[in-house]
Structure formats: C-alpha cells, structure tokens
Amino acid sequence: MKSIIIAAAGILLFSFTGCSSLTLSPANFSWAIESVLPVNQQGIVTDKRYAVSFNAKPLFFAEKGDSALYTDEELHIIKNEKGYYFITAKSFSGVYVFQETEGALTMTNKILLKNNLVNPAFNARFPWIELVDGSEKYLLDNKGFKGN
C-alpha cells in the first residue's frame, strides 16, 4: 500500500512539473531612446521601428476629459527593461504607465507631477526611465518616482 502511495505521488509530482510555465529570464524590453509619435486622424499612434500601434483616444479622454482633443498632438513613449510603457505628452499632468495585455495596453500606474509638463522627454537610464522637462529631471519606474 505504501509503495502504491509513493508511486502515485511520484506520478502526480511528475505531471505537475510537466505542466509548469516556461520562463525565459532575464529579459530586457527597454528601448534605447524615446519615440516621439504623432497621433493620426483616427487617434492611432504607430511606431514603425518597434512595430507597435494603439488607439490613443482613451488616453486623451483620461487626461483632458475629451477623447477628441488629440489633433496635432505628439506622444512621448518609451519602454523600460521590464516591458512597461511610459507615455506622456505636452501639458499632461503626469506620466501614464502601461503594460501589454492581450491586444491592448492596460494602465498600471499614473505618476502625477506637481505641475503640468511643458516640454517633456524620456531618456533610458537603466534601470530607470528619466523624465526631463526643462531643467527638471525625474527618475521613474513602473511604480513611481525613484526612492518612493
């Protein structure tokens, strides 16, 4: 009986091992430089180099309360090593952090700033993302400012 239980436990353990997910790590998803991309008339932003495109209208709705206020706007986008997208634009109140999900970008965080951004730009400063606005500089990750 004891040996039967041991055999059954062994089979169960083996089958669980076979079903466990495969992880490739470490992985680095960071972009070397931000992309500054225009929003087209349909509200879509496309980055040819990284083959990414998404609908930006909900972002403008979230920021300005009007999804139609995207004409002539440019988005600053960068991706950190963990694969989070940092997105902002001129006059935005902060930086939006997104994660890739099935067929969508889903917001995981919004990093608010004291003042609206005037001339924002992202730099890759491993492992951080540097947000530059005039003479102001902030180091960010997907959770917020460095040190918070």
Residues that bind another protein (CB under 8 A): 32-36, 49, 76, 121-124, 132, 134-137
Q: How far is the CB of 76 from another protein (least distance, A)?
A: 8
What is the C-alpha to C-alpha distance for residues 131 and 50, in angstroms, rounded to an integer?
A: 21
Provide the minimum distance between the beta carbon of 47 and another protein in the complex, in angstroms, as a whole number: 13
**Considering beta carbons, is residue 113 or 121 the nearer one to another protein?**
121
Contact 136, 110 (CB under 8 A): no
Is 66 or 136 the residue whose CB approaches another protein more closely? 136
SS3 assignment, position 45 = strand
Considering the complex, what minimum distance in angstroms separates the CB of residue 23 from another protein? 26
| Gap between the Cα atoms of 77 and 30, Å rounded | 11
Task: Write down the least CB distance from residue 132 to another protein, Å.
Answer: 4
Quote the least distance from Cβ 22 to another protein, whole Å. Answer: 28
Nearer to another protein, 14 or 126 (CB): 126
Nearer to another protein, 107 or 113 (CB): 113
